[in-house]
Structure 1
């Protein structure tokens, strides 16, 4: 007997739907499940697209939903850091938990089954955000896997006491050591920051995830360190265990220089996570004309062999006053801003939210849709993989470890006058499928 069977699930473009059977939180079979096979729950997907659970590899849950308390009037990176630093002084365990849990549950409803969260660790807020994330990692594990990053937003040397807090955070069980390579006073201090973070990664046996090169260009050397981080990654033997977020100033380099940095990142095994919602909102604030809209060069990174993903980063705060923790919304934004509009590009963006994000977060072994993989799945309200962005489909079902944890069913009726040419035609609306009526726009005849 299976715990769950999803019938007629479309898992690959151009191939017929298959059945997916789950036992003990793991996919047991992908193929055909014999009619009448007993199961705790059976769902007919009716040919809808089914994908592995989405992964948010870079999300600041501790700072989510702060915009209602104090917005960032200038919209700059410096302004966002200042506003957030002021608000952090008032953080309590209860206030951080309430905001973080709300957005975490949005993410789950939107199909996310793993989040890498980056709570601030610094003398302003101490370890409050980190302790909340460690608690949520346990209490919400039935809904989502949570990786906790000890993140020094205010710098390390620039904020004395942060180094000791990072060590304590790692002792308490942080999964990843974070870094903010540009938030020191000069380039030499930034390089020491990188060495400190990577040294802690080696000492505690954890991956490293750094914010880096978050600027419009490389005129300030603090924002031109991606190549140096790649070199340091090789030096510390951390290939495949270092990730960079933002990396927007890379887009400002001349093509030859950009290609050289991409090659160094690929060779060193450093991943990159694009954060377009924040990058587009913050970027170009100093430009009076021909305003730059810096997003890391996603296509070149992928073509150059760099593991590349994307994420929401912030949700409704001083860094990004938008968002719903929805990976498909962010993927659509990325497609529009990075000139990625072909079906092949859609496939790349879907991979960035799933299999590539799994590599970023180190869970790629046992991830996907195949026997032996974790049963983390999303049933989308569309019948073509090529339409997963443009359709903005409902997440009909979200499955975590073989258990349905979220369900969305939405019906829209279009009310209009009868069509004279069809007045004598019988009403034959499309039959609804098990997970909701695909004939979403149905004519209702006037009385």
Structure 2
């Protein structure tokens, strides 16, 4: 039996201090410090937070580990989506299994070092690029299962219908244990057939769906309403996530309200990706350049679960980033006008509890009986947990001490 004590930490906006007790990797007790007397000698590990903020780990809800850390190989000089797609297509043919493994593992370790405890990563394949990238990500999921909880999305980046053979690869990926059926309807020759294949596989294997959706500056070609209706029709309410959805920023008034209401009814979660969308969006605008980010506040206020994620780390789509979700959230605050006194408290949940909800994690959070996962931040007010961008002082995943930051960082990784 192993018992761990994390004492004097702040868990919410009240800024009251709590003691957390983890027994054999599970939360055994969570009580206010004033209500619990503890004897440190009864524990195998003791960490005194001294009034610092603790969160149940950060949740990275949308990332591509297999395409990380390639920005310098063939630079996207224009910074446009078109060149990002072209450059990446050229590079993919050069990826070996060893190369993908080295880069994806390095990116995964960046996430872990910054306190991410749960991640949903898209792993792509196509008849030209092959299947070894997906195999690498599945291997990493097993290798790092004691350090981070990974969900793997079977992702057909190059489309399904316009890339013959991809549907068979998707089925193969699901049979190998993919957690989520992915899709990218705007990058295929027949959007409705693309969606029918995705929904069919999701039904067959009993898995949720995660789409790259409407990555446009304009709303002219968007299909989010179609996706929402099909989500309801196929019985996937609450089991659909969409990334990007930048086209929605081109909508307003009653039309936007109707779309948001339909999305709320369908229980669709939106993964906003501000680093990528700001970098690639609005490139054709000559003045009043669009932010090209989905309308986070309006989605939130309309009852849609909207969260924040990285998408990429240092590749042609996003030539920066270090795996720190706090930096993503800090960027979103001015971009999405989330700095108001009533808005700021809603941001941290977008990379913690709301993000966990978006990817279907049901045992997340500070509840007795849940996995003993906790990250302590070097800040003493819950309200400042993002704007301080504090260093991570302690990270425990299911009772496994991953990181302890005192005078010298102790990092326990494979």
Contact 2:15-2:382 at 8 Å conserved across structures: no
Matched, 1:47 2:51: yes
Q: 1 CA distance for matches of 2:372 and 2:282? A: 42
Q: 2:93 corresponds to which residue?
A: 89
Contact 1:91 1:128 in 2 (8 A): no
Question: How much is the aligned-residue C-alpha RMSD, in angstroms?
Answer: 1.5
Q: For residues 22 and 86 of structure 2, what CA distance do their matches in structure 1 show?
A: 48
Structure 2 equivalent of residue 194 of structure 1: 195
Q: Does 1:325 align with 2:326?
A: no
Choose 122-131 or 350-359, whichever is displaced more: 122-131
Could you tell me how far apart the structure 1 residues matched to 2:372 and 2:232 are?
Answer: 34
Q: Distance in 2 between matches of 1:344 and 1:352?
A: 15
Shift of 1:410: 6.4
Q: Say whether 1:17 aligns with 2:33.
A: no
Note if contact 1:343-1:386 (Cα within 8 Å) is conserved in structure 2.
no
Corresponding residue to 1:160 among 161, 164, 176? 164
- Verify the 8 A CA contact 1:126 1:165 in the aligned structure 2: no
SS at match of 2:19: strand
State the match for 2:7 in structure 1. Answer: 7
Q: Contact 1:381/1:395 (CA < 8 Å) preserved in 2?
A: yes
What is the alpha-carbon distance in structure 2 between the residues aligned to residue 191 and residue 207 of structure 1? 18
Which secondary structure does the structure 1 equivalent of 2:187 belong to? coil
Corresponding residue for residue 232 of structure 2: 234
Query: How many Å apart are 1:2 and its aligned residue?
Result: 5.1
Q: In the aligned structure 1, how far is the partner of 2:404 from the partner of 2:43?
A: 19
1:265 pairs with 2:266:
no
- CA distance in 2 between counterparts of 1:54 and 1:405 reads 14
In the TM superposition, residue 78 of structure 1 has moved relative to its aligned partner by 2.0
Shift of 1:74: 2.0
Report the CA distance between 1:254 and its aligned residue: 2.1
Indicate the residue corresponding to 1:387 in structure 2.
Answer: 384
Q: What are the superposed Cα offsets for residues 314-348 of structure 1, whole Å, 9 maximum, x if unpaired?
A: 00000000101111000000111001113442321
Corresponding residue of 2:302: 304
Extract structure 1 runs of 4+ deviating beyond 4 A. Answer: none
Matches for 1:101-250 after TM superposition, within 5 Å: 101-185=105-189, 189-219=190-220, 221=221, 224-250=222-248
SS in 2 for 1:313: coil
Decide whether aligned partners of structure 1 residues 287 and 36 sit closer, same or farther in structure 2, where only a CA change above 3 A counts.
Answer: closer
What does residue range 276-315 of structure 1 map to in structure 2 within 5 Å?
Answer: 276-315=274-313
Q: Partners in 1 of 2:120 and 2:385 — Cα distance?
A: 23
The CA deviation string for residues 71-125 of structure 1, in whole angstroms up to 9 with x for no partner, is 1122222211111111111111110010011111110110100110101121222
Question: Cα 1:134–1:39, aligned 2, differ >3 Å: closer, same or farther?
Answer: same
Residue aligned with 1:293, SS:
coil
Report what 1:424 is aligned to: none
Q: Is the 8 A contact 1:76 1:285 kept in 2?
A: yes
In the alignment, the residues of structure 1 paired with residue 245 and residue 158 of structure 2 have an alpha-carbon distance, to the nearest angstrom, of: 18
TM-score by length of 2: 0.95
Among candidates 349, 371, 376, match of residue 374 of structure 1: 371
175-184 or 35-44, larger mean C-alpha shift: 35-44
User: What residue number does 1:441 align with?
Assistant: none
Shift of 1:260: 0.8
Say which is worse superposed, 265-274 or 342-351, in terms of deviation.
342-351
Which has the larger Rg? 1
Aligned residues: 405
DSSP 3-state at the match of 2:52: coil
Aligned to 1:399: 396
Taking structure 1 as the reference length, the TM-score comes to: 0.88
Residue 81 (structure 2) pairs with residue 77 (structure 1): yes
Q: Which runs of 5+ in 1 are unaligned?
A: 412-434, 436-447
Counterpart-to-counterpart distance in 2, 1:16 and 1:269: 33
CA–CA distance in structure 1, aligned partners of residues 379 and 343 of structure 2:
17
Helix, strand or coil: the match of 2:30? Answer: strand
Contact in 2 for aligned 1:245/1:273 (Cα 8 Å): yes
SS across alignment from 1:82: helix
Unpaired runs of 5+ residues, structure 2, are: none
Tell which deviates more after alignment, 69-78 or 49-58.
69-78
